């Protein structure tokens, strides 16, 4: 390990307890998972730098909010609940202090747009207060989740709320299918091929993707491919970056390194080393990953 990588390691921190659950089948086209994090920090800890990510989610903070700083500025707390869009640039640091208890609803690429008709380009690189964005739809949900007796009950409450919202949602269409295929393929499928198969022109696909996801399909594919590369490192820590680059579909290790600088502001080794220093205690369902390490963005 290089000296600069050791210097970047977070100080020893309490274990972050993580729970996750998948939605039931009726919600699978809208939601990818539900999650909870719990920890107790006696002093402010800088947990991680935040990379550009494809994730979109709603998150509730029942004890202390997260702290975030951008480009080395002072830390500031988040609202008590936020809606977060795709993150397109690095530059934020995430910190915790006090008792942390969160509940997260993570969405499919077009889930928020389908449910609420939100202009997703306005959510890119943003984490906006739910009270400002969806006050009518989420006020009762926030109260019920705060009063719930633990994660399992919160999942049931969230699923009931989402089912009610789904009744008024835009119907699932070919655009939603393309977005899910891009997410699942992690950059391993041609955007042009998907557009042709759906009978979309390149311009129409880009216009719909911007409206319903927030970024262009090609940039979204870049985000999902880089995500997949980081996940491979977690699952297979003995793999070299050259092997990871080849498995993720990069031209070579140098290509992956350039993407790492663009999407997380540092080399992949430096970023992965910092994440590997984070201790988590996870209660995770089958085939699910630790979303704290590789499934989380953070608002401005």
Q: What is the pLDDT of residues 245-256, one digit of tens each?
A: 999 999 999 999
Confirm if 83 and 120 have CB atoms less than 8 A apart. Answer: no
pTM beyond cutoff 0.75? yes
- Partnered with residue 45 across adjacent β-strands are 96
Is residue 114 within 8 A of residue 170, CB to CB? The reply is yes
**Segment 84-94 mean pLDDT:** 91
pLDDT at 239: 92
More confident residue, 73 or 220: 220
How many angstroms separate the CA atoms of 4 and 252, rounded? 24
Give the per-residue pLDDT at 214. Answer: 97
pLDDT of 211 > 50? The answer is yes
pLDDT score at 73: 85
**pLDDT single digits (tens) 255-300:** 999 999 999 999 999 888 877 766 555 554 444 444 444 433 333 3
Bridge partners, 96 (sequence order): 45
Contact 88, 219 (CB under 8 A): yes
Query: What span, in angstroms and rounded, lies between the C-alpha atoms of 69 and 260?
Result: 20
In angstroms, rounded to a whole number, what is the distance separating the alpha carbons of residues 117 and 111?
Answer: 9
Residue 184: closest CA among 224, 129, 231: 224
Q: Say which residues have a Cβ less than 8 Å from residue 59's Cβ, sequence separation at least 6.
A: 81, 82, 84, 102, 103, 104, 105
Q: Which residues of 1-27 are buried (b: 16+ CB within 10 A; e: fewer)?
A: eeeebeebebeebeebbbbbbbbeeeb
Give burial (CB, 10 Å; 0-12/13-18/19+) of 213: buried
**CATH architecture assigned to 3-294:** Orthogonal Bundle (1.10)
Tell me how far apart the alpha carbons of residues 189 and 205 are, in angstroms, rounded to a whole number: 15
Q: Give the chain's mean pLDDT.
A: 86
pLDDT at 139: 86
pLDDT digits (tens, 9 = 90+) for 138-182: 889 999 999 999 999 999 999 999 999 999 999 999 999 999 999
Tens digit of pLDDT for each residue in 10-56? 455 567 889 999 999 999 999 999 999 998 888 777 667 889 999 99
Tokens of 99: 């008792």
């Amino acid at each position: 390990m290089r000296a600069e990588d050791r210097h970047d390691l977070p100080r020893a921190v309490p274990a972050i307890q993580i729970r996750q659950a998948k939605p039931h089948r009726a919600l699978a086209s809208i939601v990818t998972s539900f999650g909870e994090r719990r920890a107790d920090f006696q002093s402010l800890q800088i947990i991680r730098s935040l990379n550009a990510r494809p994730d979109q989610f709603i998150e509730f903070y029942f004890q202390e909010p997260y702290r975030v700083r951008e480009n080395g500025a002072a830390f500031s707390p988040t609202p008590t609940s936020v809606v977060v869009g795709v993150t397109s640039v690095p530059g934020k640091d995430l910190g915790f202090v006090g008792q942390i208890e969160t509940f997260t609803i993570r969405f499919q690429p077009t889930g928020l747009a389908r449910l609420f008709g939100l202009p997703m380009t306005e959510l890119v690189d943003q984490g906006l207060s739910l009270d400002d964005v969806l006050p009518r739809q989420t006020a009762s949900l926030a109260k019920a989740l705060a009063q719930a007796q633990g994660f399992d009950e919160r999942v049931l409450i969230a699923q009931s709320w989402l089912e009610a919202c789904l009744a008024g949602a835009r119907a699932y269409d070919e655009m939603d299918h393309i977005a899910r295929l891009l997410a699942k393929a992690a950059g391993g499928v041609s955007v042009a091929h998907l557009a042709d198969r759906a009978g979309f022109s390149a311009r129409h696909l880009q216009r719909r993707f911007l409206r319903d996801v927030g970024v262009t399909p090609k940039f979204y594919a870049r985000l999902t491919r880089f995500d997949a590369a980081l996940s491979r490192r977690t699952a297979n820590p003995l793999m070299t970056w050259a092997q990871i680059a080849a498995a993720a579909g990069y031209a070579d290790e140098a290509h992956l390194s350039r993407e790492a600088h663009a999407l997380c502001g540092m080399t992949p080794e430096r970023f992965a080393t910092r994440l590997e220093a984070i201790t988590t205690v996870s209660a995770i369902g089958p085939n699910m990953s630790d979303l704290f390490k590789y499934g989380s963005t953070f608002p401005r």
